[in-house]
Amino acid sequence: MAKFGLGQDPQSTAAATVLKRAVQLDSESRYPQALVCYQEGIDLLLQVLKGTKDNTKRCNLREKISKYMDRAENIKKYLDQEKEDGKYHKQIKIEENATGFSYESLFREYLHETVTEVWIEDPYIRHTHQLYNFLRFCEMLIKRPCKVKTIHLLTSLDEGIEQAQQSRGLQEIEESLRSHGVLLEVQYSSSIHDREIRFNNGWMIKIGRGLDYFKKPQSRFSLGYCDFDLRPCHETTVDIFHKKHTKNI
């Protein structure tokens, strides 16, 4: 891989830092993260090239950009083949009190216009805040670019005094989704334990805590109450897989 050897201006320094990180991740076989860094570094180098007048320097930059683009393309082909073979696996560790992990931030990479059907297995869509979590997840699903038409939810039935509230809340969500042309099918299981979300474009996401990984806001008027990117999280792990076909619940 090419040596960095870039200038000392802020944009060149930023490009060198990102590309150094890309090469490190590449050497550790952390290809999804490496690809992101390569792409970001290449974009920065293109900006440097645009502002460079010296022909020799422009020639050197084009050579570097070409080599990084070739490597990024090879990684992309490898990851695409992994997805095709059903071997793709990416893991995200959300630290205690971390922010920036709203549903949109976590899932948008996998919500393409080909997504029309979603399966959710989560035993804890029971209490008020969990129903709101599910509602917020559904709101994300009906936004562009995906064209979701059917959502399948498998959860457990609250056996306490909140059972009526759970049933009523899910019914209201079902009616609201219907007004947007989306069908919600709810099933209950007394033995469900695993948490899993699947899209019919082949992506499968397993979150250790399911959809309920956000902490309670400090107050109704604290940052993070509305914008979940600002809401602190509980520690959990997100495992992302890709399979050619998803199975029905």
- What's the pLDDT tens digit per position in 78-130? 888 887 776 788 899 999 999 999 999 999 888 988 999 999 999 999 999 99
H/E element, 42: helix 31-50
Position with higher pLDDT, 205 vs 9: 205
- What's the pLDDT tens digit per position in 132-188? 999 999 999 998 788 999 999 999 998 877 889 999 999 999 999 999 999 999 999
- DSSP assigned state of 95: P
Q: Can you tell me the mean pLDDT for 2-8?
A: 57
Task: From 70, 78, 66, select the one nearest 29 (Cα to Cα).
Answer: 78
Domains and CATH numbers, the chain: 10-85 (1.20.58.80), 89-242 (3.30.870.30)
Give me the pLDDT at residue 6, please: 63
Q: Which of 1-5, 187-191, 203-207, 234-238 shows the lowest per-residue confidence on average (mean pLDDT)?
A: 1-5
Give me the pLDDT at residue 67, please: 94
Straight-line distance from the first to the last Cα atom of the chain, in angstroms, rounded to the nearest whole number: 46
- DSSP assigned state of 58: H
Residue 63: strand, helix, or coil: helix
What predicted TM-score, i.e. pTM, was given to this entire model? 0.69
- Structure-token pair, residue 55: 């022909």
Q: Is the pLDDT of residue 231 over 50?
A: yes
Nearest-10 Cα torsion for 107, 76, 91, 104:
-10
- Structure-token pair, residue 231: 């809401």
